[in-house]
Chain A
Amino acid sequence: MIGADPAAAAAHPGRARADEPFDPSAAAARATEAILHDTLHGADRGVVVDSPPGAGKSTLVVRAARELAAAGRPLMVVAQTNAQVDDLVDRLATADPDLPVGRLHSSDPHPYDPVLDGHESVRTSAKIADLAGLDIVVSTAAKWAHIKHVEPWRHAIVDEAYQMRSDALLAVAGLFERALFVGDPGQLDPFSVVGADQWAGLSYDPSASAVTTLLAHNPRLPQHRLPVSWRLPASAAPLVSHAFYPYTPFRSGTGHGERRLSFGVASDGSGPDRVLDEAAASGWGLLELPARRTPRTDPEAVAAVAQVVRRLLDRGAVAVSERSGEPQPVAADRIAVGTAHRDQAAAVRAALAGLGVSGVTVDTANRLQGREFDVTVVLHPLSGRPDATAFHLETGRLCVLASRHRQACVVVCRAGVAELLDEHPSTEPVQLGVTVKFPDGWEANHAVLAHLAEHRVAWRP
């Protein structure tokens, strides 16, 4: 870590002075006002907003879209996946049932979530001509890229811009004159299945993120940051902020004690129960299995993950949060399991099915991006591995896995990851002209591990 305290170094307009008590709502409101002002009245062609996990990015997008529409400026919205588009359209239509919104979709069967058919003001079509004249048209970057020969929109909102590849932006940037780019710089970077080293260091490297290219060519664009995570509890925000956003810190919207997790059934003293108690008390739990090199779908670790989920449900977990005064049961749909690889997710699903658990979301970090749950159980990406490759060290992967929860996060891992990290410093070749990303995955992994070590429950299954 570099000498100066990054939290102190990064001054921010949305931040209250140190002698005043921190008011998260006021700080977030100030940041939002500044963003909307630049979007609606600024002279620049683009505005970039960095949003840490759960900082109200979707709320901001919905609000900005509505205000632009209300000001008589029709706009297009670019999101990255169909699920994101459907979610956004649903939020827009719920927030303002009279707002005419278009959902541009593909011509595949089942192209959009049928929930959209329930909104009267939402029109869906695979042809842009059918949606002409609507205040807001929303679609994926992939679908927008096929739209040709239309009058450019004066405004656009690009959602999840850090997960959008530069070449995808190239394909759609001709459709709008100016845009608001919103995204989380800490999540997974876009990737390519073929090598793109030959363009590394070019300002328009097609495999880089859209924001990287945008800012390389337009360095003076106003950049904003949302300062408060409403999702992460007070126990998690400092760690995630310190480990993954060291130069752009954020705070949690809730204080210690505002969220509580408790169980109706007492612990039976087993590893899974003890780690759940630790997580309920502190927000974090590390269930550490004995050190061992294993295949990716480590049967013991997979079984341990499933066991933790089973006990979480069996013990009648209830959560208290600022959303409602009453304790709410943590049902299966409020729980997620996160893994690094698809085969691990498949193995966990099978193990859960074997324990009779259904309804729990089990997916890879890539697919959990943007999702939110009460409790998450994470199979550590480096658990049981003989090596630490760039894939497993990627900062964004761990950041996504460690920032999906509102209450608590349990990490299941083999012992020895710290030693593994020390044996595998990053070996990626240095490319001229490429901005080095801080923190690197090695540093972030160590920061998270050091914190988790304080909440460790050793267990031999």
Chain B
Amino acid sequence: MSLITTLARMEAVREGRAQPLTTVRHRHLSARPLAFVPLTTAGEAGAPLGALVGTDRDAPRLLIVAQPRDRDLRFAFLAELAEEIQPYLDSYADEVELEERKETDPETGKKVPVQVELCQDAPQLLVPSAAGVAFVRLLGRSMRFRRTAEQDPETPFPAPARVPLLGRWLTHYGERARVPGSCLLLSLTELLSRHWATGQSNLEDQHLGSLLAWIDPPEGVPGAEAALRAESERDANGQLRCPPAGPSTDPAFDNKLLAPAMSRYDAARAEASQGVAGGGARLRLAEAELRGLIESQLRPTWDALWRGVDLLRALPEGARVADRWKRDRWSYTGHRDRVRAGEPPQPKLDDAVTAAQKLAARETAQAQLEAHEALDDPLVMAGRRLAGEAFAGEVIDVEMAWSDAKVPRPRPLVTIRTEDRPHLAERVKLHRVTDDGRAQSGEFAGFADMDGADEADGADVAEGPGDAHGQGRALVVRLTGGMGRGKQPEPGTVPEKGDRVCWTLFEHAPRGGPELPDPESTPWTHGGPPDAAAPAQGPQPDPMTEEDYL
């Protein structure tokens, strides 16, 4: 945890209210997101119990599995879920714009520009918590290898139409969510804790109810107290007033309410199948009871999710968020194209090359996200400055200079007075954005003497680098780029005396990793090319495990 976050958390404790970590919103929020609040059954991984799903906060669709161990009911649930989510996912597929992209021509091997489609917007899934993201991934994994009767008439337990397709989409969204800064699938707890610091631990912040209690406590109630209530207050029946955001349920709810209701449902179902008089009515009654119970656990989370969305929408969007959202649109468009091209579902495990590519892409995305957030938001930049990774100050001197090359290049020396204490060493590379949004590079050239008048100012900070030598805190930066191509820098590209500038030690547009070999030419050190004979529809189930569906 950075120093500024620690400070914000301490302030949150003192104020009894969460403190902002940002001045803008650093994630894209769709105008019409699809909210998905799932619940799972205790004791069986990937057995859904119910869900609220929809784009209309006032009219969510409630789906339940009355008996989660019944595979037919589970499939019925997944079919309904697909009915609800798939049209939403598809609704963005056809509104496209054309983008020019460089592609390698297979005949000439040269890079040629081609026009490709890019979806104008992309569907966005919101879940309450990080565990919800993991559940989306799990659902995707359990669904994408299923076969429908249409795909394979021989399959013993055909899945309903759309279920494998939704599995592929959920897998794509779950995988995309691992890319730092991506916004196709977001959890509210992560979104909110990026933008506010509460007075509780990171672990406690994963509880949506108590997180909201810190950010937006009821009038006159301190955040800590409101959070404690959200976490643990129970009614006369011993039930939580604020049910957990799932997908796990509260054990008290499971034991006292859900299990008896499920037993009644099982009994009524048995009676109905035996044709006992009134059995059908009792079955409908028992199912209605279960629907009511499950909705009672889901609805508070549903409302909390949208409350969180309201809080986030009140923040203005960061300037570079749209750039990153465009990458999400590319990701969505790319998967749309793979589905349309009839490609098989994503494999169970990545091969060596894919894994390395994903890791490299995510590391680049992480570096880019950190740079974007700092550039978009002075409060985030303040944290980086405090950590010694950036400095801001006033230009007190500019001296023109040129490089020794045959064609001399401008290398002006800019002296900046700053209160910050960056971790600098000779020739450390520096980066900044000019007022007109262009990138400029420089390097640290040393400390400068300050005027005698400034020495007293420097004396109260005893141990700064350079202070010990009586040099004051004036840093000299040699500009190395961003001044055009000529011998003279282009007007406006060199800061002037009196300008406020902010230099960072981190790059703003980090380069991606090197090109990796094709999977077919995986080297011997990594096991050679993947087995071409492996079944295209995913690996065979484990013979030792019954029902190896995952």
Contact = CB atoms under 8 A, between A and B. Distances in A.
Are A and B bound to each other?
yes
B363 A194 contact: yes
B408 interface: no
A424 interface: no
B178 interface: yes
A302 B480 CA distance: 35
A196 B356 CA distance: 10
Interface string A44-63: 01100000000000000000
B41 to A, nearest CB: 23
B462 A109 contact: no
Contacts of B516: 167, 170-171
Given A166-B356, A167-B356, A173 B526 contact: yes
B11 to A, nearest CB: 17
B366 interface: yes
A210 B360 CA distance: 15
Contact of A194 (B180, B387, B464): B180
B514 interface: yes
A210 B352 CA distance: 13
A95 interface: no
A204 B524 contact: no
Contacts of A343: 387-388, 423
B73 interface: no
B423 A174 contact: no
A213 interface: yes
A399 to B, nearest CB: 25
B378 interface: no
B356 A349 contact: no
Interface string B406-443: 00000000000000010100010000000000000000
A174 B363 contact: no
Interface in B104-159: none
Interface residues of B, number: 43
Interface string A324-351: 0000000000000000001100110111
Interface stretch (A13-21, A140-148, A258-266, A405-413): A140-148
Contacts of A173: 523-526
A167 to B, nearest CB: 4
Contact of B521 (A146, A167, A174, A195): A174
Given A171-B516, A194-B366, A206 B525 contact: no
A347 B351 CA distance: 44
Which of B349, B517, B526 has its CB near the most chain A CB atoms (within 10 A)?
B526
Contacts of A288: none
B359 interface: yes
A171 B513 contact: yes
Contacts of B522: 170
Nearest to A178: B524
Contacts of A45: 524
A353 B465 CA distance: 7
B293 interface: no
Contacts of A347: 463
B355 A199 contact: yes
Contact of A217 (B180, B366, B480, B527): B527
B362 A194 contact: yes
A300 to B, nearest CB: 13
B465 A350 contact: yes
Contact of B523 (A174, A202, A354): A174
B359 A194 contact: yes
Interface of B: 178, 180, 349-353, 355-356, 358-360, 362-363, 365-367, 387-388, 421, 423, 427, 462-466, 468-469, 480, 513-517, 521-528
Closest 4 CB pairs of A and B: A173-B523, A145-B514, A167-B356, A204-B352
